[in-house]
Amino acid sequence: MNSRMNYSSQQTTMLEQLSDKRLFDLARSQAYDYLDTLRARRVYPSDNALAALTLFHEAMPQTPCPADEVLRLLHTRGSPATVAQNAGRYFGFVNGGAIPVALAARWLADVWDQNAALYLMSPIVAELEKVCEKWLVELFGLPTGTAAGFVGGSATATLCGLAAGRDKILQTSGWDVEADGLFGAPRPRVILGEQAHATVWKALRLLGIGRAQVEIVPADAQGRLRADRLPALDARCLLVAQAGNVNSGSFDPLDALCRRARSAGAWVHVDGAFGLWAAACESTRFLTAGLAHADSWSVDAHKTLNAPYDVGVVLCRDRDALHGAMRIGASYIPDGEQRDGMRLTPEMSRRARAVELWATLKSLGRAGVTELLERLCRHARQFGQDLAAQGFRVLNEVVFNQVLVACDTPANTTATLARLQRAGECWCGETLWQGEPAIRLSVCSWATTDDDVQRAVAAFVDARAMAMAAST
């Protein structure tokens, strides 16, 4: 028998790339170059960098491109067009940075190239998911036995939590969603605050729940659902509360909402994309009082915790309910006693997200998580104080990491933001708050320093001055 291996030229090339490591050395040197220049970069890419992206718009290549050329194109044309979220002065969306050890762990996990669907596919990832589940439940103070599924982001996590709640509510009414679907099913009552995040509405739509089925509760001046305006609840209710308003950072009165829901047998889901982390810090835990009385929770690790993208988590008090909503089976999928991550999430094949989440939590520890949260909140308060001292109007109570700012008129606010975004010194987003345009600062990155805050405040002042000069 001929034992000689027959490789195609393509396979030979790829085997050589694995063996000599030059391709990976090139990628490493490019990554180091990016990191070395990160803090000196514009926070948002220049017009020239954006224009250079047209190079990527070409016909599908008919022949292979050398691997080193692929990487060089990404670095020379792609790197300048990135948003420097890890540079310390990006405050646009609720986007955290990536702490170094978590980024390094992700590199290693990418080399592992594990599929996190089943324990049999990757025992290490399954075990790390189990550890992260336990640690998160402890950090957030949730009931023992709460299940965690690791998904791409809190939007998917919200979908999972609401699916578990919907199915459980219908089950108590004698309806089996898995067997009978939704046509003809009893209609659950869905109750939201008027400031509910757009991802909640999207999740409801995907679950077959339209706007006409939703009861909307008014919010107060900070965007908190008003518990005194909550309708009478019953066992058909799916109530969605918010831990961290995406504009103001405010928290719904979770304790009052959960107590009323529990006495009525209703299901409560808490949308805590960035705010759920307040429960992990003693100085902010009061914001989440009553959190443990909910039934499901959604949170991102790539926001406030600063794990790399994309790490979202759905948590569910009733493990069987989450399992039931995410149920999957096939003759080739064995039932085992070990943790199979896909039974807690919508996806089968999944990236090994738990690796960088574990690395983040392991490296920070409880004390490190607390220090990170307290620093983010301190910088947010500093923004509020310093901008107010410069004559800007701060529109919200700065209770967590969000700050809403406006100038003396809506027109000046809009013009100032446009100048600020073009300058590149820092980057902030826009929103509407109480019917007027506002500048939204989301303080989420571990890399932000006191100096970054001062530089950003100075950029605000300069942008306003230029906007006012241009209007005269």
pLDDT of residue 472: 78
**What tens digit of pLDDT does each residue of 416-461 get?**
999 999 999 999 999 999 999 999 999 999 999 999 999 999 999 9
Is residue 4 scored above 80 in pLDDT? Answer: no
Phi–psi pair at 182, nearest 5 degrees: -110, -20
**What tens digit of pLDDT does each residue of 225-264 get?**
999 999 999 999 999 999 999 999 999 999 999 999 999 9
Please, how many CA atoms are within 13 Å of residue 274, restricted to the half-sphere of its CB? 26
Q: Is residue 171 part of a domain?
A: yes
Name the average pLDDT for the chain. Answer: 95
Q: Is residue 95 part of a domain?
A: no
Residue type at 398? Answer: V
The pTM assigned to this predicted structure is 0.95
CA distance 239 to 314: 16
Which has the higher per-residue pLDDT, 471 or 158? 158
Using alpha carbons only, how large is the chain's radius of gyration in Å?
A: 24
Least confident of 36-45, 139-148, 371-380: 36-45
Q: Is residue 280 part of a domain?
A: yes
Is residue 222 scored above 90 in pLDDT? Answer: yes
Which has the higher per-residue pLDDT, 410 or 212? 410
CA distance 117 to 347: 8
Residues 128 and 106 sit within 8 Å (Cβ to Cβ): no
CATH, residue 350: 3.40.640.10
Residue 281 — pLDDT band, cuts 50, 70, 90? very high
Question: Edge to edge, what strands does the sheet with 402-406 contain?
Answer: 90-91, 427-433, 436-442, 402-406, 393-394
Give how far Cα 217 sits from Cα of 26, 252, 284, 360, 388, Å: 55, 12, 25, 37, 32
CA distance 332 to 319: 24
CA distance 262 to 277: 23
Q: 51, exposed or middle or buried, with CB in 10 Å at 0-12, 13-18, 19+?
A: exposed
Which domain does 161 fall in, by range? Answer: 104-362
pLDDT of residue 424: 92
Residues 115 and 90 sit within 8 Å (Cβ to Cβ): no
User: Token pair for residue 412?
Assistant: 């000046």
**What tens digit of pLDDT does each residue of 290-305 get?**
999 999 999 999 999 9
pLDDT of residue 331: 87
* CB neighbour list of residue 119: distance below 8 Å, 6 or more residues apart: 126, 336, 338, 339, 340
Q: What is the mean pLDDT of residues 319-339?
A: 91
CA distance 86 to 96: 8
Give how far Cα 416 sits from Cα of 248, 385, 420, Å: 20, 19, 6
Please, how many CA atoms are within 13 Å of residue 276, restricted to the half-sphere of its CB? 32
Q: Is residue 405 part of a domain?
A: no
Q: Is residue 419 part of a domain?
A: no
Is residue 45 scored above 90 in pLDDT? Answer: yes
CA distance 240 to 169: 14
Residue 3 — pLDDT band, cuts 50, 70, 90? very low
Residue 403 — pLDDT band, cuts 50, 70, 90? very high
Q: Is residue 86 part of a domain?
A: no
Q: Is residue 354 part of a domain?
A: yes
Residues 214 and 187 sit within 8 Å (Cβ to Cβ): no
CA distance 22 to 8: 21
pLDDT of residue 2: 45
Q: What is the mean pLDDT of residues 356-367?
A: 97
Residues 124 and 285 sit within 8 Å (Cβ to Cβ): no
Q: Is residue 153 part of a domain?
A: yes
CA distance 115 to 122: 6
The percent of residues above 70 in pLDDT, for the chain, comes to 99
Number of domains into which the chain is organized: 1
Is residue 25 scored above 70 in pLDDT? Answer: yes
CA distance 382 to 390: 12
